[in-house]
Structure formats: structure tokens, C-alpha cells
Amino acid sequence: MRESLYQNIFHRDCEDPKKTWAKNRHNITYATAKLLPLLETKTYFDVGANIGVHAWLCNQFDVDVYCFEPNSALNRYIQRNSKPKQLFNVAVGDYNGTAHFTTKAQSPGNHVIKNKTADSITVDIRKIDDMTLPPPGMIKFDV
């Protein structure tokens, strides 16, 4: 049953040769779908949640998902797609503070940068160790 869920939702994108990004996502999503039922601790940290695809997958396996996404423009998609246990509008890092974050639409991935630009926003950075959270059974870092 879980295999058919995976195939119905994600397999379509991988069939389209124009969607080369989906081929990489295909492997990550497939591995996640296979591992979630095996978790002893049903808690998943989705670091770099983007629009909440992996968080949505966690919902299908009754796993509590905590999303971390610094781009607040994506929060409504995460909430609509996945109903996380908690959503943190922060970047995860090795210090607590702020940084500049690219938001260029044509960029292959948004990321923290050294200097502010016209296409960046200032975001909070938090250490996971300093947050009061349950221990995770699995963490996905897409940063």
C-alpha cells in the first residue's frame, strides 16, 4: 500500500525527462518512505522543508514532523501541504544569530550567503541543540 502511495504521488515527476530534479528527489523520497515505518522514535526533523513534501510524507506514516524553513514565503505551503507538529521559520546552523539568505527564483537552491544583496533576506539561525525538542528518529537536511 505504501508503495502505491509513493508511486502515485512521486513517480509521475520522475517519468518526465524535463524534470531532472525529480530524479534526485525520487531517490531521497523513496528512501524516506522506506525508512519511516522502521523508526522507533516517530519524530522527523525536516531541515530545509521548502514546501513540505517530505513533511507530507511523514503525515502518511503518522510520524510527528518538525519543519525548519527560513524562507517565510514558503510557510503557507508547508502548513497547507503537511500540517507539521511545529514549523520554525529559521535556518539551522552551528551558531545562534542572523544571516543573509538568497531568494532568487532562478537559483537552483536558496542558501545562506555572506553579504546582503538585492535578492536576499535576513533570517534567524538557530542551533537545534539549543531548542527544546523531542529527540528525532530521523533528520533530513536539505540545505
**Nine-digit cell at 102?**
538568497
**Nine-digit cell at 76?**
503557507
Task: Note whether 98 and 123 are within 8 A (CB).
Answer: yes
CA 82, 87, 89, 93 torsion-angle sign: negative
For 6-10, 77-81, 85-89, 108-112, which range has the lowest pLDDT when averaged over its residues? 6-10
Q: How confident is the model over 73-82, as a mean pLDDT?
A: 86
Residue 67 vs residue 120, higher pLDDT: 67
Q: In whole angstroms, give the CA distance from residue 85 to residue 54.
A: 13
Task: Note whether 109 and 101 are within 8 A (CB).
Answer: no
Please identify which residue in the block is written with the cell numbers 519511516: 36
Q: In whole angstroms, give the CA distance from residue 19 to residue 33.
A: 21
Across the chain, mean pLDDT equals 78
Highest-confidence range of 4-8, 46-50, 114-118, by mean pLDDT? 46-50
pTM of the model: 0.75
